[in-house]
Structure 1
Amino acid sequence: MSTTQTRQPSRGERPDDTGAFAWLRALGPRGRRAFGGAFGGYALDSYDFFTLPLSMVAIAAYFGLDKGQTGLLTTVTLVVSAVGGALAGVLADRIGRVRALLVTVITYALFTVLCGFAPNYETLMVFRALQGLGFGGEWAVGAILVAEYASSRHRGRTLGGVQSAWAAGWALAVVVYTLVFRFVDADTAWRVMFWTGALPALLVVYVRRHVEDAPQAAEARRASADRGSFTAVFKRPLLGTTLFAVLLSTGVQGGYYTLATWVPTFLKTERGLTVVGTGGYLAFLISGAFTGYLTGGYLTDRLGRKKNIALFAVLSALAVLAYTRIPDGANTLLLVLGFPLGFCMSAIFSGFGSFLAELYPTAVRGTGQGFTYNTGRAVGAVFPALVGFLAEGWGVGGALVFGAVGYGLAVLALLGLPETRGRELV
């Protein structure tokens, strides 16, 4: 069950290649196809997720919801995603990474489309919860698929590249949202947003035809009697790792999803921005996020996994406090600070794919990563709902500060986890 081996150059890797895209060349043809599949899956996962936060004001008006009920839609999605992530992780260890990836993509696409047909709030909540099953599993499975192709030298940058797909999907969702809500009545526009969630069907065709598991990792997984064992991640020597990894994921994702869920509402209701204006402000936030993912991937290879996460946890907390304390009327400053806010809260995620993959042996890598990342997501999902209820008395801007608490939890969790930079995956 060892997770390390002597460092050897990966197939396609040249030790003297130090160019900006050396990490991509080192993957080799099969690895690059896997990267394309994982990138596309995560981008469309992000797109389907953001159809809800961007449409929340229209949905709340259509069904007559208060802020607590509206926030609960996101919370239910994230809570159920823990179940989906755990199941997808086990599937990835038992039937392979690519097959599990296909299951997750089909699931989140199907139920996103069905959300657009929801006749009432209760049905929408059920469909959104079921969407969480696929949403929860896609990232962990895709990240492991690519991590097992990447060398330790470039793994942080490679997984940071996969992580940047989240910003790409977010940007696509904002563009579609801006167009749909500009030309379609709000009572119908939110449904159209969900119907566009059928886009991942195109990715399924590509993955089925062109993507396969990393051969050496697949062989090691099949040879192990412990593959996909859920109980193994709760036994020594992995128990402590699992508990602290869950706490780390809880803190980071609690902070992140608080902002991702409520910033669009904050800009509209407390800053009075129009749909087009909100899209412009979000463009700065998303640009910062994309840059942060790539920068964080580079730094996680240079500084180490733990230092990168600790650095951006502190910076993210400070950015949240600054962003929500900008005085009324200073919307230009709000625009400018959107970039560093997006940068910091995204750069912290760049090391997650490599860090969690390196914490677990091959036979239970999917199980461990899927469970810890998505359990953290589910517990962190309490944050958006709590902000929704607190916003009734504090206002959305005041309640958003609660997201900074999550980043403090992340720093504490790092004390119980080892540094894994340089670790090769068997």
Structure 2
Amino acid sequence: MNANSGPSEQPPSTVTRGPEKQVREAGWFAWFRELGHDGRRAFAGAYGGYGLDSYDFYVLPLGLAAIGTYFALDNGHTGLLATVTLLVSAVGGALAGMFADRVGRVRALVWTVSVYAVFTVACGFAPNFETLLVFRALQGLGFGGEWAVGAVLVAEYASARHRGRTLGWIQSAWAVGWALAVLVYSVVFHLVDEDLAWRVLFFTGALPALLVLYVRRSVKDAPTAARRLKTTDRSHSFAGIFRGRLLRTTLLAGLMSTGVQGGYYTLATWIPKYLSDERGLAVTGVGGFLVVQIIGAFSGYVTGAHLADLLGRRRTIGLFAVLSAVCVLCYSRVPADWDGVSLILGFPLGFCMSAIFSSFGSFLAELYPTEVRGTGQGFTYNTGRAVGAVFPTVVGFLSDSWGVGGALGFAAIGYLLACVALLGLPETKGIDLDKVPGADALRRSASTE
């Protein structure tokens, strides 16, 4: 072939115009190519941060049975450990969001990852239940902020037509971190005595320190967002999410997040204990059941990511809210000797309860203008965590009389709340982030104060 034969003889994968371009851009990972060099680095930082966020969260539910035995706790008090993490995460999420709107997304990401790593490790040194409760609460500060900051960072790099799947793939990091936590849990509890194993599990929470080094050296804010944040007065960013039409948005988005996360964290907190206590599974058995659920979760995140751009944000969240409620009710009512059925149902349960989150990153980012995007996303997502945190504690107390399996059905109420909230929220699929409704009014309001 002549070396000077021209662009018509380029390999099909490098053709950049005509029908071939449309095929290339419609590929499974077109969204990733569109991010560009800096966007892909931001994606890697946010993906790693959220995956390790998940890992540091799950070391508690996985070690919950051992912790309860070690400190002689009832189910209500063990559930309180999960609840306090989620309650404080609301504060952490709001603070991190405001911090991101003032000093940039990357600096806020470094702060959140550092905080949750330090206090996860500190939990391993707790001499009593009260100290563990305090350390777990402080861990919630970083845990609450990481997702909101990372999601905003990547959303501002993503194209409008691929933003749903880009942010949905960020959500899939949660399943990766969850899988890593289950793997480490299985190894640690197999090799180390239970009284010490839960402490070792917390010590492994130091892993995110490596990610901080990468983010500080390689990741930067999206240029358009960075310019906007430098030239805008953000002294009233928190109050801004309660002004004008953003007030309705904030209240409904917070309710939606409450319902979804109340359902999710109920299941995340109590399923390991349900499998070990009521189904009588050993550590390896619990790990095996959770692997099926995790495979379903990863599949759900990825599927939900693409449906977010295909069906829209509201339809995708509503669809999986209904399916999640159905799966919870079925899973929690499987007879005690039907382990095979429970194993199989773990896949659709993990799939649906995870796919619902794939639209969250894009949906919440698209509901708020740049000036308050971090604040709005951080506040609504983590307020949902905080109020939804009541669910695991309620289930803990109900389980004393209903059993953990019977009480798990309470999670379905959360998914019903999410459906109600969606009725009042707009569809945002394909919206330009610089043209989010309410942006001009927010800027005029800030300029007059």
8 Å CA contact retained: 1:67, 1:392: yes
Q: Which amino acid aligns with 2:422?
A: L
C-alpha separation in 1, matches of 2:60 and 2:335: 28
Q: 3-state DSSP class of the match of 2:403?
A: helix
Q: Deviations over 1:201-237 (max 9, x none)?
A: 0000100110000001111122222366110111112
Q: 3-state DSSP class of the match of 1:150?
A: coil
Q: Which amino acid aligns with 1:269?
A: D
TM-score by length of 2: 0.91
* 2:319 paired residue among 287, 308, 311: 311
C-alpha RMSD over aligned residues = 1.0
C-alpha separation in 1, matches of 2:234 and 2:103: 13
8 Å CA contact retained: 1:221, 1:227: no
Q: Do structure 1's residue 326 and structure 2's residue 334 form an aligned pair?
A: yes
8 Å CA contact retained: 1:228, 1:363: no
Q: Deviations over 1:340-359 (max 9, x none)?
A: 00000000000000000000
C-alpha separation in 2, matches of 1:212 and 1:74: 33
Quick one: percent identity of the two aligned structures?
Answer: 69
Q: 3-state DSSP class of the match of 1:118?
A: coil
Q: 1:62 to 1:312 in 2, by over 3 A?
A: same
Q: Do structure 1's residue 29 and structure 2's residue 31 form an aligned pair?
A: no
**Which residue does 1:392 correspond to in 2?**
400
8 Å CA contact retained: 1:146, 1:159: yes
* 1:200 paired residue among 208, 224, 231: 208
C-alpha separation in 2, matches of 1:76 and 1:342: 24
C-alpha separation in 1, matches of 2:160 and 2:362: 9
Q: Do structure 1's residue 148 and structure 2's residue 156 form an aligned pair?
A: yes
C-alpha separation in 1, matches of 2:402 and 2:86: 24
8 Å CA contact retained: 1:90, 1:228: no
Q: 1:170 to 1:228 in 2, by over 3 A?
A: farther
**CA drift at 1:14:** 7.0
8 Å CA contact retained: 1:91, 1:228: no
Q: Deviations over 1:303-328 (max 9, x none)?
A: 00000000000000000001011112
**Which residue does 2:295 correspond to in 1?**
287
* 1:126 paired residue among 121, 124, 134: 134
Q: Which amino acid aligns with 2:358?
A: S
Q: Do structure 1's residue 232 and structure 2's residue 240 form an aligned pair?
A: yes
Q: 1:228 to 1:173 in 2, by over 3 A?
A: farther
Q: Do structure 1's residue 47 and structure 2's residue 55 form an aligned pair?
A: yes
Deviates more, 1:68-77 or 1:416-425: 416-425
**Which residue does 2:28 correspond to in 1?**
20
Deviates more, 1:165-174 or 1:220-229: 220-229
**Which residue does 2:197 correspond to in 1?**
189
* 1:365 paired residue among 363, 370, 373: 373
**Which residue does 1:112 correspond to in 2?**
120
**Which residue does 2:424 correspond to in 1?**
416
C-alpha separation in 2, matches of 1:403 and 1:370: 23
**Which residue does 1:166 correspond to in 2?**
174
C-alpha separation in 2, matches of 1:113 and 1:353: 28
- Which 5+ residue runs of structure 1 have no aligned equivalent? 1-12
Q: Deviations over 1:88-127 (max 9, x none)?
A: 0000000000000000000000000000000000000000
Deviates more, 1:219-228 or 1:333-342: 219-228
Q: Do structure 1's residue 258 and structure 2's residue 266 form an aligned pair?
A: yes
C-alpha separation in 2, matches of 1:251 and 1:43: 23
Q: Do structure 1's residue 337 and structure 2's residue 345 form an aligned pair?
A: yes
Q: 1:407 to 1:345 in 2, by over 3 A?
A: same
C-alpha separation in 2, matches of 1:111 and 1:264: 23
Q: Deviations over 1:166-188 (max 9, x none)?
A: 00000000000000000100000
Q: Deviations over 1:5-25 (max 9, x none)?
A: xxxxxxxx9785111110100
8 Å CA contact retained: 2:101, 2:234: no
Q: 3-state DSSP class of the match of 1:416?
A: coil
Q: Which amino acid aligns with 2:342?
A: L
**Which residue does 1:381 correspond to in 2?**
389
8 Å CA contact retained: 2:102, 2:234: no
**Which residue does 2:414 correspond to in 1?**
406
Q: Deviations over 1:281-311 (max 9, x none)?
A: 0000000000000000100100000000000
**Which residue does 1:57 correspond to in 2?**
65
Q: Deviations over 1:128-151 (max 9, x none)?
A: 000000000000000000000001
**Which residue does 1:8 correspond to in 2?**
none
C-alpha separation in 2, matches of 1:270 and 1:387: 15
Q: Which amino acid aligns with 1:178?
A: S
Deviates more, 1:250-259 or 1:221-230: 221-230
- Which 5+ residue runs of structure 2 have no aligned equivalent? 1-20, 435-449
Q: Deviations over 1:26-52 (max 9, x none)?
A: 101110000000000000000000000
Q: 1:131 to 1:301 in 2, by over 3 A?
A: same
C-alpha separation in 2, matches of 1:137 and 1:359: 18
C-alpha separation in 2, matches of 1:227 and 1:291: 41
**CA drift at 1:152:** 1.0
C-alpha separation in 2, matches of 1:142 and 1:308: 22
Which stretches of structure 1, 4 residues or more, deviate above 4 A after TM superposition? 13-16
Q: Which amino acid aligns with 1:31?
A: G
Q: Which amino acid aligns with 1:50?
A: Y
C-alpha separation in 2, matches of 1:351 and 1:228: 28
**Which residue does 1:74 correspond to in 2?**
82
Q: How many residues align?
A: 414
* 2:105 paired residue among 97, 108, 114: 97
C-alpha separation in 2, matches of 1:412 and 1:126: 35
